[in-house]
Structure 1
Amino acid sequence: MSDLEPTHPFQFHNFRAYWVCRLAVTLAQYAMLIVIQWQAYNLARDSGMNVAEGSGTLAIIGLLQFLPLFILTPFTGLAADKFDRRMLGLITIAMQLACAVILAYFSMTGMVTLPILFGIAIVLGVARGFAGPALSALSPNLVPKAILPTAIALSSISWQVGMLVGPAIGALLYAQEPALPYIVAAGLFVIAGIALALVGKVPQPAMRADQRPIGAIIDGLRYVIRNKMVLSAITLDLFAVFLAGANSLIPVFARDILVVGENGLAMLAAATPAGALVTAIFFSFRPLKTQVGPKMLGAVGVFGVATILFGLSTSLTLSLAMLFIIGAADMFSVYVRQSLIQLHTPDDKRGRVSSVSMMTISASNEGGDAFSGSLAYIIGPVGAIVAGGAGALVTVLVWSRIFPVLRTTKSFDPPEHLIERQSE
């Protein structure tokens, strides 16, 4: 890259529009998600369920969001490689906008029920299933490869800002009027749609004309399995976050353990993204360059320790501090994982590989919500969080042994044969 060429992602119009789209979508999604969880948990508790049974309701919400992503993953990745990724993104934004409008209506009329929340969770799972691979596969084509790690950090900032501000907005607006979070979310989805529509035409390599859909799906899965770097990075996050899903039980801690109400709920929900945001901002100015594999393993280890301490905490201050560290460690891992996946995957397979990555992210997040809620139903919320953190630590030890590439990877640079293929 010469001195006259752009050196920052924000110098590209398409990336700026994409960044605004992702920020607005994430703000809306997480403002809705925290309110859906809060409404579901309170409906369960107010109906006479105990804490464990209420936690089981949160497990159902997580499961209903995860199952559509899990079932549709092979097809959503194929769609992202075969069809216009911008159009897929616009369709999914429209689906989520419809969900926000429906929930705003039922909240305004006081007719929200658990079946309604469960149904919306399924639709949101389908929409996110198609949106994730399409938007993830779109972003690497918006900037030159030389500044892609910076673009990934900035993209993560938009995501983390959304995760940080979204839950806080949702909880605070809900305290004023139950329908307000959904009304604001609907407006944000409109902004996201306009921003994505402003992204100009982006080069997208055509799939082989002679390759059938099932063969294309298998081809993408085979690439993930054979590329040990991609496979290890994806599965490390999958198992660690699946086991240690502290955020899924925040409504339980806010109402029944720390007893901090809706204002405390907003603070707890924002603490994890706050840590992630600080880390993402740091990497946008100081990109990681050395010992990326070992540092990723270390970050997941810190994630597990902080999760255990959060589960044992009875202090709001300590709980907030541990959630902040959880977010920072998770963002460190996400930054390394996303950079490795994007730079180690040929462009013609990015949609399918991104769909596998999104499936594992959903398995670790929404699937982890279901797991943590179910475990809390059996052994209680504190025991579930502590056991999950310990499980994350065991995952680090096991993965460092069965995937030596994680211990030996020093930089983000892809192998020479992949560089040659991407330049063809």
Structure 2
Amino acid sequence: MVKTTGSGWAVFANGDFRLFGGARFLTGLAYQMQAVAIGWFVYELTHSALALGLVGLAGFLPAMLSALVSGHVADVYERRIVGSLAFAVQSVASFGLLAYALSGATAIWPVYALVVIVGTARAFANPALQALLPTLVPATLFGSAIAWNASLWQTASVMGPALGGLLYALGPKVVFAAAGTSFALASVSIALIRHRPAPVTERPAVTWATLLAGIGYIRSQPVVLGAISLDLFAVLFGGATALLPIYAASVLHVGPLGLGLLRSMPAAGAVTMALFLATYPLRRHAGIRMLRAVMVFGLATLAFGLSTSLPLSMACLFVTGAADMISVYVRQSFVQGETPDEMRGRVAAVNTVFIGASNELGEFESGLLAAALGAVPAVVLGGAATIAIAVLWGRLFPALRDRDHLLVQK
């Protein structure tokens, strides 16, 4: 067994991790700022809700359609270079949005085209970087590295939308320029990482067998399959984010300011828990703690669904974010640490699609259920379903339930 011992702060003594973490923070800011700017920009051009929905589709589809290829690329080529090039492409796309905003044109298709480019580049960056992280730090610091990486991303997720909205007051051009600069700096940071893996002496041919190897590996590993599928179904049924505007307007009667507070709470809880886990890494009973965290997520979601008090609702959402971070911490440790290095890119690509699908489909499922039953019953049923899933997964995946340490020495 490999235990995650030592101070969580020791990971920052690693210069490669500092560069990696800095890139993650910069890209998190860029994604969030740019999402706010694109949303406002598209709506100003079209005044269409459908046009806004198509922006999300344009960003998600490339990740789903290119998952098999992007994972193969991450396993065949140097991940540091793949990540750096992907961020460089996103920087070019952001400056393309800047040029389009400066042009004064009103056609919407160029915006969608540039969003597709950003989404495609992101689809290649994510598996490469997920596979790169475990190679940058010793196994004893891997749990802390996962937690710090998540806390940097979540912090950017809290700051990014506010910063994007603030800069948008100066015009969309300012936001696109800031995002393009952030992506460029992240590209340089990843390129400066000193870690150099052993060169691939023989690159496998691109066949269905090699492309589908990541899916096959996940199916053969009950711990990894259980962790990924648990997160998929928990978020699919338990996510209440899509219904927050309804709660703010019709249940809590708190208006836009209250909506902003509600939306910030899950990220605040996630950051707090990530910082705790980074300082005090989880050492024992990883599997059962993941299952319990999902149950807490479901309970907090159920309580939020029944709440008519803004402070209580904020507290419930804070708990959902903290509980979800425990699940993310354990799942990512299994996915990134359990997988052989030569398979990490393809497994990470499948994991990325699962995460994206659970978020996108979860919002769709919440909307459909709320339309049929009402917002409160939809959230309450979703929380109850998440609790049931955690109990069921404990029975279906005993290897996950009984897993003790985060990492097992091969």
Q: TM-score, normalised by structure 2?
A: 0.86
In structure 1, the residue corresponding to 2:66 is in which secondary structure?
helix
**Is this contact kept in 1: 2:222–2:400, CA < 8 A?**
no
- Deviation of 1:217 after TM superposition, in Å, equals 2.1
- Alpha carbons of 1:96 and 1:310: their partners in 2 closer, same or farther (altered >3 Å)? farther
Whole-Å separation in 2 of the counterparts to 1:186 and 1:218: 34
* Contact 1:165–1:270, Cα closer than 8 Å, also in 2: no
Residue 260 (structure 1) aligned to one of 255, 276, 281: 255
Output one character per residue of 1:274-317: Cα deviation in whole Å (capped at 9) or x when no partner. Answer: 11111111011111111111111111112122233434445543
Query: Are 2:127 and 1:127 aligned?
Result: no
Partners of 2:136 and 2:195 within 8 A in 1: no
TM-aligned CA distance change 1:314 to 1:185, over 3 Å: farther
In the TM superposition, residue 58 of structure 1 has moved relative to its aligned partner by 6.1
Structure 2: runs of 5 or more not aligned: 3-7
- Aligned residue pairs total 404
Contact kept? 2:333, 2:407, Cα under 8 Å: no
Q: Give 3-state SS (helix, strand or coil) of 1:8's partner.
A: helix
Any conservation in 2 of the 1:164–1:271 contact (CA below 8 Å)? no
Asked if the contact 1:164–1:269 (Cα under 8 Å) also holds between the matched residues in 2, the reply is no
Query: In structure 1, what is the equivalent of residue 61 of structure 2?
Result: 67
Superposed CA offset, 1:40-65 (max 9, x none): 67888x55xxxxxx5x7765544443
Return the match for 1:412 from 388, 394, 406.
406
Question: What's the Cα RMSD here?
Answer: 3.3
Check 1:288–1:205 CA distance in 2 against 1; reply closer, same or farther (3 A cut).
farther
Task: Report the Cα offset of residue 27 of structure 1.
Answer: 1.3
CA spacing shift, 1:311–1:40, aligned 2, 3 Å: farther
- Unaligned 5+ residue runs, structure 1? 48-53
- Contact kept in structure 1, 2:266 and 2:322, CA below 8 Å: yes
Report which stretch shifted further, 187-196 or 172-181. 172-181
The residue correspondences of 1:201-240 to structure 2 (distance < 5 A) are 201-204=195-198, 206=200, 209=203, 212-240=206-234
Q: Quick one: structure 1 residues 408 and 307, their matched pair in 2 at CA, closer, same or farther if it must change by over 3 Å?
A: same
Partner residue, 2:295: 301
Q: In structure 2, which of residues 299, 324, 329 is the aligned counterpart of residue 330 of structure 1?
A: 324
Rounded Cα–Cα distance in structure 2 between residues aligned with 1:62 and 1:313: 30
**Which one of 74, 84, 98 corresponds to residue 80 of structure 1?**
74
Aligned partners of 2:254 and 2:41: how far apart in 1? 17
| Distance of 2:156 and 2:355 partners within structure 1 | 17
State how far apart, in whole Å, the 2-side matches of 1:379 and 1:100 are.
41
Match status 1:145 vs 2:159? no
| Aligned counterpart, 2:30 | 28
**Is the contact between residue 300 and residue 392 of structure 1 (CA under 8 Å) also seen in structure 2?**
yes
Partner of 1:241: 235
Residue 340 (structure 1) shift: 1.6
Give the structure-1-normalised TM-score: 0.83
- Distance in 1, matches of 2:44 and 2:137, equals 45
Amino acid at match of 1:79: V
Instruction: Measure how far apart 1:164 and its partner are.
Output: 1.8
* Contact preservation (8 Å) 2:204, 2:210: no
Q: Secondary structure at the match of 1:369?
A: helix
Match of 1:278 in 2: 272
Contact in 2 for aligned 1:27/1:166 (Cα 8 Å): yes
Counterpart of 1:317, as a letter, is P
- Quick one: percent identity of the two aligned structures? 39
1:203–1:184: structure 2 CA closer, same or farther, 3 Å change rule?
Answer: same
Are positions 1:318 and 2:320 aligned together? no
Instruction: Give the equivalent residue in structure 2 for 1:12.
Output: 14
